[in-house]
Structure 1
Amino acid sequence: MKITHLETVPYRVPMRKPLKFASGEVHHIEHVLLRLHTDEGLVGNADIPPRPYTYGETVESVVAVINTVFAEALIGADPLDRGAVHAKLHRTIGNQTAKGGVDIALWDLIGQAYSTPVHRLLGGFSSSIEVSHMLGFSPTQKVVDEALSFTENYGVQSFKIKVGRRPVSLDVDLVAALREALGPDALLYLDANRGWNATEASQMLAATADLDLRFFEEPNDAAEVLTRRGLVTNSPIPIVADESAPNLGDAAREIHTGGANALSIKTARTGFTESQKILSFAEALGLDVLMGNQIDTQLGSVATVTFGAAFEHSSRYPAEMSNFLDMADDLIASPLEIRDGRIHAPTVPGAGTAVDEDKLAHFRVD
């Protein structure tokens, strides 16, 4: 089997409600659908979410790097030769989500070729994974109501709370209100998206010490080396590297230099192949891992559950996979369902990223 040609299709889907957080806000999903075509008629799909405020990638840069630089590595390649393809992609610096999308599309082709779900090819640990919902900036009562609705309607018991870049007292009140409304059994954790400095983050930790928070993701910019290391050393809960660990090398650096003591893995930026390397690194060191969210569509979320449910270590905590419910529509051919707080891994051959062609035609941006 050989890859004969590729497509990069920009598309745009409106959000039902904007998602706001310390490093930006999203009103529309503006992604790129990658499609790898083979001489056997198979098509591998992957959703690529450019995040200029996080990785510097844009829709235009993703399309350009894949159609020019990456095309040389892909056209004529056998999808099974992932190592050879990745060695060529590695020569190009950055372009993290573009590389992640290529890897997912390759795995999708492999799963289809062997008539096996990629979830099983990776490990097949569990048939499903628990869901965590990400709560963006809104007035406190509105955030509480959103959390309660997800518990009532979908059985979700885990929430990531967006904080940072506003008065600490406001976020302390929000977390206290959520804990009171959701009760002691809900899993709650914070994500400041680098929105505070270490002093403010320390104030947040002290003020919420009795609210049983589990993690604190990117409390301040990891480039603030000394204060970040001091924060990690003194924090009573794990500090999670996310934007500061977009690949295996950066994840290893942050952990070994004391910039974090837990990791967020996002298949959108490290695909399945590099995500497995990061997961193995974390497991060997006994580090907690969260399966994170790039404000993923269902196409992106199905990749998260495909990988996250495949391994025991990535299944220990709920995965961030529910924000596609904030989107007006999706390209996925077989929509995801959240039942009893869980999403099931695809059972079809491939990665479960098959596309509804009518919706693609409607939402594509030419």
Structure 2
Amino acid sequence: MKITKVEAIPFAIPYSHPLKFASGAVHMAEHILVRVHGEDGMVGVAEAPPRPFTYGETQAGIKAVVEQIFAPQVIGLDVFEREKVLSRMNRTVGNPCAKGALDVAIWDLMGKVLGQPVTRLLGGYTDRLRVSHMIGFDDPAKMVDVAQEFLDRYGISTFKVKVGRQPFMLDVEVCRALRQHFGDKVDLYIDGNRGWTATDAARALRAMEDLDLLFAEELNPADDVMGRRWLVRQAKIPMFADESVSRPAEVVRELLNGGATAISIKTARTGFSMSQRVLFLSESIGVENYIGNQIDGQVGTIASLVFGAAYQATSSRAAELSNFLDMSDDLLADPLVISGGELKVRDLPGTGVVVDEEKLSHFRLDK
């Protein structure tokens, strides 16, 4: 079945609880809904969340590159010619979230054509993932309250703590408050979003050695090559690369440089096809992964869930699947429900996304 049309629809949904972190803050989900149409009227759907402070992509930029650059190159191709699609998209440098969304939408369409859930086409390992929640900058007591609420309401017991502030003791105090409040009832890990120097990161890690952190992520900038190597060599916990590895070649670079020991996978920036490459590369050399969050809405969260549940390696850790709860609304006709700390894959053809057209009409910006 051939691709007949590609749409990139801008929409905006306010956050009821803005997320603040070292490289920026998010108050509004100004995202793009990508739709890939097939000959028989079937449509594949995906979400592209721009992160200008991380990848340089904007909402307007994603819409432009999808509709003006990618669409003319993929219209007319068979939906199953994924490698041709990837080859043509990769002629354009950068734009990871635009590429990732188009790839996910094509997989969604393939699943609908075959009448199969995409998670089964990818690997079909499990039908659910444990959920981790990201907690943004705030006072220690308020961050403890947020974690307690998510534990009580949703059963979530794994938390990513945003760090990277100056002085670094602000974040040490937060992590200590969380551990003192919850004891061993929760798992904690930290994400610096490149906010610290290698020296500050090393001091912060030493100050938190007794807090039993699972791992740390992107504590200092990716181009701080010697600093990252130095930090990894002395760290006593795994050091995950995230925004520094937006494509497989960067994964190889970061691992060979010694700047990380593990890799975060985000379908928002590598789709399903390139996420497979990252996962298989990691597995082949004994490198751990987990499923990260691009501050996705529910459409993007389903993509992360579908991919993570497909493989044993990505389902072994809690996945970041809950930050849509901080949005005031969303686009799904049947909203996601986190229960007992888990999120289940929907047994529907494709990724399981069914968009509420009235909500899309309300929130879209190109009416």
Shorter chain as normaliser: what TM range?
over 0.9
Mapped partners of 1:110, 1:359: distance in 2:
25
Describe how 1:256-335 pairs up with structure 2 within 5 A: 256-335=256-335
**Which residue does 2:90 correspond to in 1?**
90
For the aligned residue pairs, the C-alpha RMSD in angstroms reads: 0.8
Q: Deviations over 1:101-126 (max 9, x none)?
A: 01000000000001110011111101
TM-score computed with the length of structure 2 as normaliser: 0.99
Mapped partners of 1:86, 1:273: distance in 2:
8
**Which residue does 1:226 correspond to in 2?**
226
Q: Tell me, what secondary structure is at the counterpart of 1:102?
A: helix
Mapped partners of 2:85, 2:127: distance in 1:
30
Contact 1:148–1:181 (Cα < 8 Å) also in 2: no
Q: Tell me, what secondary structure is at the counterpart of 1:183?
A: helix
**Which residue does 1:26 correspond to in 2?**
26
Q: Tell me, what secondary structure is at the counterpart of 2:126?
A: coil
Q: What code does the residue aligned with 1:38 have? A: G
Q: Tell me, what secondary structure is at the counterpart of 2:330?
A: coil
Q: CA deviation at 1:45?
A: 0.4
Q: What code does the residue aligned with 1:95 have? A: N
Contact 2:165–2:171 (Cα < 8 Å) also in 1: no
Q: CA deviation at 1:257?
A: 1.1
Q: What code does the residue aligned with 2:311 have? A: F
**Which residue does 1:215 correspond to in 2?**
215
Q: What code does the residue aligned with 2:38 have? A: T
Q: Tell me, what secondary structure is at the counterpart of 2:210?
A: coil
Contact 1:22–1:192 (Cα < 8 Å) also in 2: yes
Contact 2:240–2:263 (Cα < 8 Å) also in 1: yes
**Which residue does 2:141 correspond to in 1?**
141
Contact 1:33–1:48 (Cα < 8 Å) also in 2: yes
Describe how 1:245-256 pairs up with structure 2 within 5 A: 245-256=245-256
Contact 1:119–1:346 (Cα < 8 Å) also in 2: no
**Which residue does 1:17 correspond to in 2?**
17
Contact 2:198–2:228 (Cα < 8 Å) also in 1: yes
Q: What code does the residue aligned with 1:7 have? A: E
Segments of 5+ residues of structure 2 without an aligned counterpart are none
Q: Structure 1 stretches (4+) deviating beyond 2 angstroms?
A: none
1:165 aligns with 2:136: no
Q: CA deviation at 1:169?
A: 1.2
Q: Tell me, what secondary structure is at the counterpart of 2:325?
A: helix
Q: CA deviation at 1:259?
A: 0.9
Mapped partners of 2:299, 2:71: distance in 1:
22
Contact 1:248–1:278 (Cα < 8 Å) also in 2: yes
Deviates more, 1:182-191 or 1:320-329: 182-191
**Which residue does 1:342 correspond to in 2?**
342
Q: CA deviation at 1:333?
A: 2.1
Q: CA deviation at 1:186?
A: 1.5
Q: What code does the residue aligned with 2:88 have? A: K
Give the count of matched residue pairs: 366
Mapped partners of 2:30, 2:206: distance in 1:
38
Q: Deviations over 1:206-246 (max 9, x none)?
A: 00001000111001002011111010111001111001101
**Which residue does 1:364 correspond to in 2?**
364
Describe how 1:33-182 pairs up with structure 2 within 5 A: 33-182=33-182
